[in-house]
A and B are shown apart, each in its own frame.
Chain A
Amino acid sequence: MAGLWIAVAGAACRSVDSAGDSEPTVTVYVSTDRVFSEPVLREYEQRSGVRVNAVYDTEETKSTGLANRLLAEQNRPRADVFWSNEPVRTLVLKSRGVLAPYRSPSAQGIPDALVDPESYWTGFSARMRVIVYNTTLVEPDGAPQSIFDLADPTWKGQVAMADPRFGSTSFHVAALYTRVGNAKMDDFFRKLKMNQVRVVEGNSVVRDLVARGEVKVGLTDTDDVNVAIEDGQPVAMVLPDKEGLGVPMMPNMVSLIANAPHAEQGRALIDYLLSSDVEQMLADSEAVQIPLHAGVPGPENIPAIDSFKPMTLDYAAAASRVEDATMRLASILEL
């Protein structure tokens, strides 16, 4: 037994030693998909010579996520930077005192609406919530153009959406409740329920159901649809409500952690992540994220940001509606 405990001590020492050397390091917790974020961070290591210790997140329904880890570690933070792929988690962390303010010089040129006036977060490289449809089952002209079309009996039994309590879907529904109001959104989701909407565990599952033809249309994110398009699957996307309410946009958000152990390195990493170079890398990747800096060319498969009307939104107000929207939808959709 003692020998085994020594083995554990050995494992511990291995990490302690490696953490104790003089190599400059920065620790970043990343909820942006690993396949997209890892190359960006490896590039930073190459450029700066700073070792990046990254902790990546799973899909929202596979584990409870890094925001919980940051909250649990709040009294003695281990991370320097949090890179989130949507606004809600960042704003929850801000409200709980986990983040520290930092105004990066790289934030110059990013629209004011996507930079926290108090400097606790800065947005970059955005995704959109889109309607995905199966191109063998739905003609482009016949695809729904607004999310409210999904409640039409035409699509009965043919709509899928991810569990609205988690991830980017939770942000989307909170944004809708904030912009449209409780009565209209409750009514919409009741109709969606009557239309036998399939609530599945994640946005990638929505995409796969549509690609396999199990349903004709679904609500998901741009990067999910693009991965399927690149994979040769019969899907296409519609930017919903681009004429009316506006297309919901979700920027990545990057923040410095309060009392970060390597705050200086953390600030340098934030400067890099907010640079035009990183926006270009994310636009060119399968993530097809839309650059927020003017002058950075956008992805080929996605309309340019100035070609549609984005949904104007107070992100903090939307984040504050998440709990209420979660409770309402658990009841309305019988989750």
Chain B
Amino acid sequence: MTMRGLQATQAAVLALAGTAFAVCCVLPLAYMVWRSLASAPQGGAPVVAALLLDARQRELLANSTLLGAGTALGATLIGAPLGVALARVALPFKGVLRVALIAPLLLPPYVMGLAWLYLGGSAGLVARMVGRDVLSPWTYSLAGATFVLALVFFPLSMLATEVALRRVDGRSEEAALMVARPGRVLWRITLPLAAPAITAAALLIFVLAISEFGVPGLLRVRVFTTEVFTAFAALYDFNRATILALPLLVVSVLVTAVAAVLVGERLIVTRRGTRAGRPVSFDAWRRFAIVASMCVLLLALVVPLAVLAYEASGVRSFAAIVRGSREAITNSLMLATIGASLVVTIAVWLGYTRARVSRGLGRIADVLWVVLFATPSTVIGVGLIGLWNQPGMVGAVYGTDAMLVLAYLARFVPVAALVLGASVRHVPASHEEAAAVGGAGWLRAMTFIVLPQIRLGILTAWTIAFILAFGELGASILVAPPGATTLPIRIYTIIANTPPAQVAALALLQSAVVFVPLAALGLGVAVREVR
């Protein structure tokens, strides 16, 4: 795609999306980096010194990398097979099962960590039941933190895999089935075609895991994110914090590069026909898929919820807290809906552009999105304050709910762009070319040919953006207007100094509030598919 070949409408729409992306996502980080470099004395010597990590910091960075890689691997190993099962196996009550399997993503990671702590701590439920501490050495470990985060994030891989497999052309699989067993077809034909989406999800999970400090802190795993956090929360040094975030961003870039090498050409547009053949079913694995789904549901949803419900059973004044949270719940649902919709509105054009540009530019876009998404939320929050807390028209936005939406855009447009980029790559450019030959304008081709083919990708990106926006805390607490609140802000400002029962009850409340609309959405989609 060259600028010369762009229609005026196409150029205008893509330029508008690009500008929105630059203003909302790139500027806050650019502002913070500029500020750090500009205020560094002695020709930037302190910047260089901060980047030369000492032995302790290198160990922390290694821990973070292991945590991210382990979580991405674990979540993919759990999520990708489930995605295959949802896409290609005739499972009973599939709509309900899908919604239930997405539900762990709705539990804030910190809450999932808390549930496993109540269960596997040295005086947890297991220790009390068996009469001795058998689990805590494992619970308080890098492996334990990896396990917990994998259980939270596997639905991302599952959704990405399912959406990708629904786009795979069944004809190549049918041809392969004539000479190979289903397992070999899945491994050699089906999964490689879904590799871009699975890889994008794994990258997203890696970034989410290395950005986490709540679960590692809870399970006493030392990670590099805490160094960035310490610079903010203990030393109040914005510049040091921004500089210390750079090693995390470098790791993210390296992992993106490794993923690109591993997946190779498959990260590039697949110019195959789509919907040309009916997707092959792998119903021979139905029983195994059902058992595996139930096991995952048990570990990732039933056990944590049961533990939280057990802990919450001792709560005394929960009803009063729920009553006091009405405004926060309404605010959160409204802002997350607006935020997710705007995120997808911008990201869909970015994803389209990424799918249609050259391989090199596409990879640069992937790296940029991963870096932006890996940027600590506090860096984004402080950047937004610096940019928007100004006199005049710009300053009129600051101190309003719009700042929360801007925070969601800054943090989550890159994620949605990654997801949608992978999705658009399954739509052959020849479809648009054919529409153009038939006289359709670019916008018409997009509206009636491209967007309908990526509707599941759009729905996935919207769902992910909604969940992430609904749970956002780090940037929100810095830019929320005085007197206004979101549910996570309210909950996390209440749980300081409350008994564990109340903390567990509030965690259940947060999960329930976000679960209801998403469950309705998921079941609605399932019913429509059945019809």
Q: Which residues of A contact B (CB under 8 A)?
A: 1, 4-5, 7-9, 11-16, 19, 27, 29, 33-36, 51-69, 71-73, 75-76, 78-79, 92, 96, 163, 165-166, 170, 198-202, 204-205, 208, 212-214, 223-224, 227-228, 231, 233, 286-287, 322-323, 326, 330-331, 334-335
For the complex formed, measure the closest distance between the CB of A203 and the CB atoms of chain B, giving whole angstroms.
Answer: 8
For the complex formed, measure the closest distance between the CB of B154 and the CB atoms of chain A, giving whole angstroms.
Answer: 24
Q: Which residues of the partner chain A approach B499 to less than 8 Å between Cβ atoms? A: 227-228, 231, 233
For the complex, give the distance between the alpha carbons of A214 and B369 in Å.
Answer: 43
Q: Which residues of the partner chain B approach A286 to less than 8 Å between Cβ atoms? A: 497
Q: Which residues of the partner chain B approach A73 to less than 8 Å between Cβ atoms? A: 385, 389
Q: Evaluate whether A14 and B235 lie within 8 angstroms (CB atoms) in the complex, with A34-B494, A62-B214, A72-B389 already known.
A: no
For the complex, give the distance between the alpha carbons of A295 and B523 in Å.
Answer: 63
Chain B contact residues: helix, strand, loop or mixed: helix
Q: Which residues of the partner chain A approach B233 to less than 8 Å between Cβ atoms? A: 60-61, 63-65, 68, 165-166
B378 touches which one: A52, A64, A170 (CB < 8 A)? A64
A68 touches which one: B213, B230, B232, B335 (CB < 8 A)? B232
Which 6 residue pairs across A and B have the least CB separation, nearest first? A53-B483, A12-B402, A15-B400, A53-B482, A64-B232, A56-B493
- Cβ A16 vs Cβ B396 within 8 A: yes
Q: Which B residue sits closest to A157, measured CB to CB?
A: B122
Q: B18 at interface (Cβ–Cβ under 8 A)?
A: no
- Cβ A9 vs Cβ B229 within 8 A: no
Q: Which residues of the partner chain B approach A170 to less than 8 Å between Cβ atoms? A: 234
Per-residue contact bits, chain B 376-404, to A (CB 8 Å; 1 contact, 0 not): 00100110011001110001111111100
For the complex, give the distance between the alpha carbons of A67 and B494 in Å.
Answer: 18
For the complex, give the distance between the alpha carbons of A15 and B479 in Å.
Answer: 13
Q: Which residues of the partner chain B approach A16 to less than 8 Å between Cβ atoms? A: 396, 399-400
- Cβ A79 vs Cβ B493 within 8 A: no
For the complex, give the distance between the alpha carbons of A10 and B94 in Å.
Answer: 39
Q: Which residues of the partner chain B approach A75 to less than 8 Å between Cβ atoms? A: 389
Q: Which B residue sits closest to A64, measured CB to CB?
A: B232
For the complex, give the distance between the alpha carbons of A60 and B230 in Å.
Answer: 10
Interface residues of B in 90-114 (CB under 8 A from A): 110
Given contacts A35-B498, A227-B497, 11 further A-B contacts (CB under 8 A): A1-B16, A8-B405, A11-B335, A12-B401, A61-B214, A78-B389, A79-B482, A163-B217, A201-B217, A205-B218, A212-B124
Q: Which residues of the partner chain B approach A233 to less than 8 Å between Cβ atoms? A: 499
- Cβ B222 vs Cβ A322 within 8 A: no
- Cβ A62 vs Cβ B382 within 8 A: no
B492 touches which one: A13, A59, A71, A231 (CB < 8 A)? A59
Q: Which residues of the partner chain A approach B47 to less than 8 Å between Cβ atoms? A: none
Per-residue contact bits, chain B 485-513, to A (CB 8 Å; 1 contact, 0 not): 00001001111111111000000000000
- Cβ A12 vs Cβ B397 within 8 A: yes
Q: B345 at interface (Cβ–Cβ under 8 A)?
A: yes
Q: Which B residue sits closest to A204, measured CB to CB?
A: B497
Q: Which B residue sits closest to A79, measured CB to CB?
A: B482
- Cβ B238 vs Cβ A227 within 8 A: no
A11 touches which one: B214, B401, B478 (CB < 8 A)? B401
A59 touches which one: B345, B346, B496 (CB < 8 A)? B496
- Cβ A8 vs Cβ B342 within 8 A: yes
B234 touches which one: A4, A53, A322 (CB < 8 A)? A322
Q: Which residues of the partner chain B approach A64 to less than 8 Å between Cβ atoms? A: 229, 232-233, 378, 474, 478
Q: B477 at interface (Cβ–Cβ under 8 A)?
A: yes
Interface residues of B in 335-358 (CB under 8 A from A): 335, 338, 341-342, 345-346
For the complex, give the distance between the alpha carbons of A33 and B495 in Å.
Answer: 9
Q: Which A residue sits closest to B342, measured CB to CB?
A: A4
For the complex, give the distance between the alpha carbons of A33 and B326 in Å.
Answer: 20
A15 touches which one: B16, B236, B399 (CB < 8 A)? B399
Q: B418 at interface (Cβ–Cβ under 8 A)?
A: no
Q: Which residues of the partner chain B approach A96 to less than 8 Å between Cβ atoms? A: 236
For the complex formed, measure the closest distance between the CB of A332 and the CB atoms of chain B, giving whole angstroms.
Answer: 11
Q: Which residues of the partner chain B approach A208 to less than 8 Å between Cβ atoms? A: 500
Interface residues of B in 213-252 (CB under 8 A from A): 213-214, 217-218, 220, 222, 226, 229-230, 232-236, 238
The CB with the most chain A CB atoms within 10 A, among B56, B110, B234, B236, is that of B234
User: Could you say which interface size class chain B belongs to?
Assistant: 35 or more
Q: Which residues of the partner chain A approach B381 to less than 8 Å between Cβ atoms? A: 72
Q: Which residues of the partner chain B approach A214 to less than 8 Å between Cβ atoms? A: 121-123, 136
Q: Which A residue sits closest to B495, measured CB to CB?
A: A59
- Cβ A326 vs Cβ B234 within 8 A: yes
Q: B429 at interface (Cβ–Cβ under 8 A)?
A: no
Show 10 residue pairs from A and B whose CB-CB distance is below 8 angstroms, ordered by the A residue: A4-B345, A12-B401, A15-B484, A19-B400, A53-B481, A54-B483, A58-B493, A61-B217, A62-B110, A335-B222
- Cβ B497 vs Cβ A223 within 8 A: yes
A334 touches which one: B56, B232, B378, B401 (CB < 8 A)? B56
- Cβ B382 vs Cβ A72 within 8 A: yes
Q: Which B residue sits closest to A70, measured CB to CB?
A: B236
For the complex formed, measure the closest distance between the CB of B477 and the CB atoms of chain A, giving whole angstroms.
Answer: 5
- Cβ B492 vs Cβ A58 within 8 A: yes
The CB with the most chain B CB atoms within 10 A, among A12, A63, A69, A286, is that of A63
Q: Which A residue sits closest to B405, measured CB to CB?
A: A8
Q: Which A residue sits closest to B59, measured CB to CB?
A: A334
Q: Which residues of the partner chain B approach A79 to less than 8 Å between Cβ atoms? A: 482
For the complex, give the distance between the alpha carbons of A76 and B335 in Å.
Answer: 25
Q: Which A residue sits closest to B386, measured CB to CB?
A: A72
Q: B87 at interface (Cβ–Cβ under 8 A)?
A: no
Q: B480 at interface (Cβ–Cβ under 8 A)?
A: yes
- Cβ A199 vs Cβ B220 within 8 A: yes
- Cβ A334 vs Cβ B382 within 8 A: no
For the complex, give the distance between the alpha carbons of A39 and B434 in Å.
Answer: 66
- Cβ B121 vs Cβ A212 within 8 A: yes
For the complex, give the distance between the alpha carbons of A75 and B213 in Å.
Answer: 30
Q: Which B residue sits closest to A233, measured CB to CB?
A: B499
Q: Which residues of the partner chain A approach B382 to less than 8 Å between Cβ atoms? A: 68, 72
Q: Which residues of the partner chain A approach B136 to less than 8 Å between Cβ atoms? A: 214
Q: B259 at interface (Cβ–Cβ under 8 A)?
A: no
Q: Evaluate whether A14 and B400 lie within 8 angstroms (CB atoms) in the complex, with A71-B238, A76-B391, A79-B482 already known.
A: yes
Q: B473 at interface (Cβ–Cβ under 8 A)?
A: yes
B477 touches which one: A19, A27, A58, A334 (CB < 8 A)? A58
Q: Evaluate whether A34 and B496 lie within 8 angstroms (CB atoms) in the complex, with A63-B474, A330-B56, A331-B56 already known.
A: yes
For the complex, give the distance between the alpha carbons of A199 and B56 in Å.
Answer: 17
